Chains A and B, each alone.
Chain A
């Protein structure tokens, strides 16, 4: 069911998939965002899509991983990791060994640290560009991908990026197809050995379920229904910020550096 392997330089895409966690019952499942990433990859014409997961092969994670196979794959590469290991080096090694042109990931994992940093750290390690929040991969020509990035309030931005690159999907990406039980069960979880780096900091952490905090309601004084609707639909907008156009690279870089210092990101 995988697209016919094309000998002549077909586009190789690797999708990083993780074991998700259902928000209500906490049962392991295919992670929603990662499933969207798979769907995005399936939508790229002529692509050879591979699935890669670094993690344990616990009893409940297998059906979750098979959920991705049920989207029409014969195999999923599993870089086995013990509990508490850092997935980043293992993934970086696996990608380095057989580098694809495009890596697609979800925005953040549904369990574990779920910091959303993995794509960035991975890009840093591999030295690849990273593009976040994709709604679509429009085309790939001569090693350059045309991407559609989702921005707030339905806006879209078209970007061109030279491959190889790492991209993450947005909730605006196409919804994942149904996972079929038969292919999921027949698919192969291909375990490969990988480097193991124990995350020492993680061992000392204490985890507990997050508490839902009450949200402060915004009090809107509006005269008309239109105003109330606008207020309800409005996204919080930062007061500051400035748009720089037609500036040199140095001026732009200086402005960014200044902002980062103001915000305390850089000291």
Chain B
């Protein structure tokens, strides 16, 4: 009886799944066009899955092994099931391999079930809670129906009642695993995820050591086009596909600083809302943590309807989008390689460029950037006032230099001026041939871009590129990771290609070349806070630590450091839009610092300095790496006097601190 029933069941499930696939693909194709290499993309899936994706999944060893067993077992079992039971090719080794595959899958699903027993808050419940049972139903029933096929059990084992019961379990398994995959069940992630890997919008992020973190430029030439993303169908089709790949594991939620601070953002919910929007409906069926302070079930949307309503509620509230610090912790954690920050900035672009609704100080900052080229609205010709006594060489006078020292808007900030002065002292101590742009420098456009004002960003960027093209220099060095990121990763698309170094990287190089010498460190414990735009955006985790090591400092690492560093709350214009939460992000970070017992927290970013120094009752002092280095500078020890003497006729370091 099973012999006739099984092929019917299997091909019926496959047929229904095919219909579901077509429907799902139609949903994605509502998005804007985005050309992708079709064959090359599909061919790269195995490598992207087994290497890049697994690299992220493997951060959780148990879950990684669980997934390998379950998913590997399932893929093998599904293919073999079609061959063995669908086409009746049970002879030889196939049946035995199918037995092994379904057994492996069953073992994996036991671990899935174990994780679901007391699931952490970040995991979505709802349909996901039945997934382990469905996995078991599929693997067990496939295992059982294969036993007679390989001859372990007689063909007519048991009665027709048993066969019918087994078929019922198989129907459940097939329903979840095959039908549900295409019709929006939890297994959707496998189908959408594989295609998402194939047609990812940032193909360049895959591969060893590669990263792709710069925002993509908005085409401003088409006057009639809506700028940014107003409705779900304004995303590119492969962005929509990416949203569908979400497994709702909540790793993003666990890492999101805004979520932890009780601000109304949860990256996982945001992605799910986009899925709701692309299909049309309400978020009532969402079974994970909501946006803090916003109950589930009050928002709804359609593919062609607005995501953010001008008044009232639509799919997402504007403050959810403005809570993001663009720290990329969610993107870094996402095992499905979803690009949350791109989506958020796309929607912010619409709010700023089309609605004119940048909250709080946003409009003022953007107006300042337009009128004065700096966010504070200061006079452009006052940019160098902090360095009136330093006699910094100007590129305008020199025409060329080895190093262009990019000051950033921290030049107007009295706290950051101390960092800049320290950095100048260090560069002079190492005899670096450097110059500054002086008043010719403008804001890099970072804040404007993260606030969604692509027009102002491109205007600033193009003028900066024009200025830079007048001069010759080998590299740009800056103490501002935001400028570093924008100059290095985002100006390229507009025609500016530069070799950019963060000052910690450059100082590390100078030290390795023997051009700097340090006194031994006598202070207390030190921890290091990785700036998002240096670490996750640019992968520089080592150089700052090497510099601290060279200073004789043993860094007491925070629990969340390196690629898991927690944001200071200062990125993405978040201090400007200032969405209220229950806690402040910098307070949480300073608590992390306090837990290490460090007396000093070393930073490498003016934003981090400002945010962390704004913490009341902090247990640690905030020092930029440049300041620590400048304080430790000393003459070359005896052994290398010869080298130092050669350069004795060069300009000497001057005391600036």
Contacts and interface: CB of A to CB of B under 8 A. Distances in A.
Nearest to B454: A181
Interface string A42-75: 0000000000000000000000000000111000
A185 B377 CA distance: 24
A180 B352 contact: yes
B356 A178 contact: yes
Given A71-B356, A177-B356, 4 more contacts: A22-B371, A70-B356, A178-B363, A181-B455
B372 A179 contact: no
Interface string B212-240: 00000000000110110000000000000
B372 A25 contact: yes
5 contacts: A22-B372, A178-B357, A178-B363, A180-B354, A186-B224
Contacts of B377: 24
B68 interface: no
Contacts of B223: 185-186
A24 to B, nearest CB: 5
A25 B352 CA distance: 24
Given A181-B227, A182-B226, A25 B380 contact: yes
Interface secondary structure of A, over-half rule: loop
A105 B525 CA distance: 62
A24 B412 CA distance: 15
Contact of A29 (B224, B352, B371): B371
Contacts of B266: none
- Chain B's interface size range is 20 to 34
Contact of B453 (A24, A29, A72, A181): A181
Contacts of B367: 29, 178
A70 B354 CA distance: 8
Interface residues of A, number: 17
Given A181-B227, A185-B223, A24 B379 contact: yes
Interface in A201-253: none
B353 interface: yes
Contacts of B338: none
Nearest to A32: B367
B226 A178 contact: no
Interface string B347-374: 0000011111110001100110011110
A185 B453 CA distance: 14
A186 B379 CA distance: 31
B355 A25 contact: no
A119 interface: no
Interface in B366-393: 366-367, 370-373, 377-380
A27 interface: yes
Given A24-B379, A25-B379, A180 B353 contact: yes
Contacts of A70: 356
Nearest to A21: B371
B366 A182 contact: no
Contacts of A27: 370-371
A183 interface: yes
Contacts of A185: 223
B358 A178 contact: yes
Task: With a 10 A CB-CB cut-off, give which of B223, B355, B363, B371 has the most chain A CB atoms.
Answer: B371
Contacts of B355: 180
Contacts of A182: 226-227, 353-354
Q: Which 4 A-B pairs have the closest CB atoms?
A: A180-B356, A178-B363, A178-B356, A182-B354
Task: With a 10 A CB-CB cut-off, give which of A29, A182, A185 has the most chain B CB atoms.
Answer: A182
Contacts of B357: 178, 180
A161 B363 CA distance: 34
A181 B371 contact: no
Interface string A10-29: 00000000000010110101
Nearest to B455: A181
Contacts of B371: 22, 24-25, 27, 29
A65 to B, nearest CB: 15
Contact of B366 (A177, A178, A186): A178
A245 to B, nearest CB: 44
B547 to A, nearest CB: 38
A180 B356 CA distance: 4
B623 to A, nearest CB: 33
B6 to A, nearest CB: 58
A186 B352 CA distance: 15
Contacts of B226: 182
Contacts of A179: 356
Nearest to A63: B370
Contacts of B224: 186
Nearest to B224: A186
A125 B353 CA distance: 40
A70 B370 CA distance: 14
A217 to B, nearest CB: 24
Nearest to B356: A180
Contacts of A180: 352-357
B458 to A, nearest CB: 11
Nearest to A72: B356
